[in-house]
Amino acid sequence: MGKMMDKLLAEMEQSKAKILEMGGPEKVAKQHGRGKMTARERIDYLFDPGSFSELGMFVRSQIKDFEMKDRPTPADGVIIGTGKINGRKACVYSTDFTVLAGSAGESHSKKIADIIGLAGKMMVPIIGLLDSAGARLHEGTALSRPFNEIFQNQSKFSGVIPQIQVLMGPCAAGQGYSPMLSDFLIMVQNTSWMWLGGPRLTQSIVKEELDSEIGSPDFCMRHSGQCDFVADDDKDALEIARTLLGYIPQNWKERAPRHLCDDPVDRREESLLEILPDDRRFTYDMHEVIEKIIDKDSFFEVKDEFAPNIITGFCRLDGYPVGLIANNPDELGGVMENDSSDKYYRFMTFCDAFNIPILTMMDTPAFVVGHEWEKEGILRHGAKLLYAYACATVPKISLIVRRAYGGGNVVMGSKTLGADFSFAWPTAEISIMGPESAASIIWAQDLKKAEKSPEYAKVLEEKRKEYHEQYINPFRLAENYRYDFIDDIIDPRDTRQVLIRAFEMAWEKNVELPDRKHGNPPV
């Protein structure tokens, strides 16, 4: 090897060593002092050892104004590259808070846009690790084009490859749209915040003091529903990302990976007979039913604290990933409303885009009614569930545990809306409305006569039972094939094997939707 090559290699190694120092020891120490990992440490933890290959390492800001020529910007504040997570290929970008607070400049933004584009071209997931103070004002309009190219690529590859963002620091203003364009957002407790307008900007424009809770992980989970998972710290967040990837495919053309399962397909769960209360007016936690049906310890809940009256999450049945959506009677009686509709719609759309079968578990008194709900568009929110379920082409199976009333029955997986199989427990109640409400309308005159009588409650109960026997009793409904509501009434103890066999049968289903550019869902 010649002297010239020796010199060039030494220069290369020296440059790389300097870049790997990021913002320098002092800035790295401050990052650790905040309880946060550095951008490079996060990548090392997320990816399989030795599998990560960095791209664009030598990139630096090209802006010279506002003293930028004197500011070191190693890798321009963002590390991008490729590697493997649990043996499966993935692309990543990780913003570096030790370099100008991770702010997005022209080259910084272009690197992110390009790695998203590369992930789309290679048909592998893209994971973004965000820790940034926002747009780099020193670079002004120079960053506009590549910054917007990030949004363009995220939108273009939506439904093509899985997109996960892990927010591990601040995220404000226009940068906050990027997590919303991803499929899933993981936030870290105490260190991450997300606003359209941060405290200083909001104060300067609308003279409004922001509550300290706004933008926090708890706020974005419980109130706005913009966050899918809340982690305790950086490592926990990265573990959540690794787990999530285990339930989803590499791209829309593939299927999610099957895991080895030692939980018997024909496991009979006797305790399922004890969960539902004898009195239908009492509630129970649907999580208890879920855990006894699916592969042991396989449930991975999404948005667990947002609209808890509906449960969404991934699980496995005989090792195969399934998207599970269930009403939870223990929260607001399992009623359907706007937030639960949004949560359901978003999760179902993801599952359908990435070939993940859908299981719905019903126990709902239907959608809420009232002046305020009408004003807030309850019909619009319910209609998008009708649209999404009717258009979903993945295997769809419904299980009616108890109440399946009104529009709730339809959107939660009615056979008449496209469920491939629908099973019911003997406790199922299928009707356009609850028996009390129906009885009060049908026998309004009889009840009015008895209204002031001590016999009123007795009369109402008699009419409720009459309506229930005629129109709600699942055995009666199953007799009439014209209704086509359910395929079988099953012993709750056999639910697991019934569902597994049904999904096995439905896996190769072929559905062709009408030829079109795209639909126009109500949102």
pLDDT per residue rounded down to tens, the chain (523 residues): 678 999 999 999 999 999 999 999 999 999 999 999 999 999 999 999 999 999 999 999 877 776 677 788 899 999 999 999 999 999 999 999 999 999 898 999 999 999 999 999 999 999 999 999 888 877 778 888 999 999 999 999 999 999 999 999 999 878 889 999 999 999 999 999 998 865 665 555 555 666 668 889 999 999 999 999 999 999 999 999 999 999 999 999 999 999 999 999 999 999 999 999 998 889 999 999 999 999 999 999 999 999 999 999 999 999 999 999 999 999 999 999 999 999 999 999 999 999 999 999 999 999 998 999 999 999 999 999 999 999 999 999 999 999 999 899 999 999 999 999 999 999 999 887 777 676 667 766 666 766 667 776 776 677 777 777 777 788 888 887 777 889 999 999 999 999 999 999 999 999 889 999 999 999 8
**Alpha carbon distance 366, 408 (integer Å):** 4
One-character DSSP codes across 441-509: HHTHHHHHHTTTSTTHHHHHHHHHHHHIIIII-HHHHHH-TTT---SEE--GGGHHHHHHHHHHHHTT-
Given this model, what pLDDT does residue 474 score? 85
**Alpha carbon distance 146, 156 (integer Å):** 15
Q: Which residues contact 227 (CB under 8 A, 6 or more apart)?
A: 167, 185, 186, 187, 194, 217, 220, 221, 303, 306
Given this model, what pLDDT does residue 196 score? 83
Q: Give the CATH architecture of domain 270-428+486-506.
A: Alpha-Beta Complex (3.90)
**Alpha carbon distance 211, 209 (integer Å):** 7
**Alpha carbon distance 298, 322 (integer Å):** 10
Long-range contacts of 273-282 (CB under 8 A, 24+ apart): 273/492, 273/493, 276/401, 276/402, 276/427, 280/402, 280/403, 280/427, 280/429
CB atoms within 10 A of CB 59: 19
Given this model, what pLDDT does residue 428 score? 94
- Residue 291 φ/ψ, nearest 5 degrees: -60, -25
Q: What are the distances in angstroms from CA 441 to CA 215, 313, 324, 434, 451?
A: 47, 38, 35, 11, 14
Given this model, what pLDDT does residue 450 score? 67
Contact between 199 and 241 under an 8 Å Cβ cutoff? The reply is no
Given this model, what pLDDT does residue 461 score? 72
Q: Locate CATH 3.90.226.10 in the chain.
A: 35-245, 270-428+486-506
What is the CATH number assigned to the segment(s) 35-245?
3.90.226.10
- Residue 301 φ/ψ, nearest 5 degrees: -75, 145
Q: Which residues contact 496 (CB under 8 A, 6 or more apart)?
A: 265, 266, 267, 268, 269, 292, 293, 294, 317
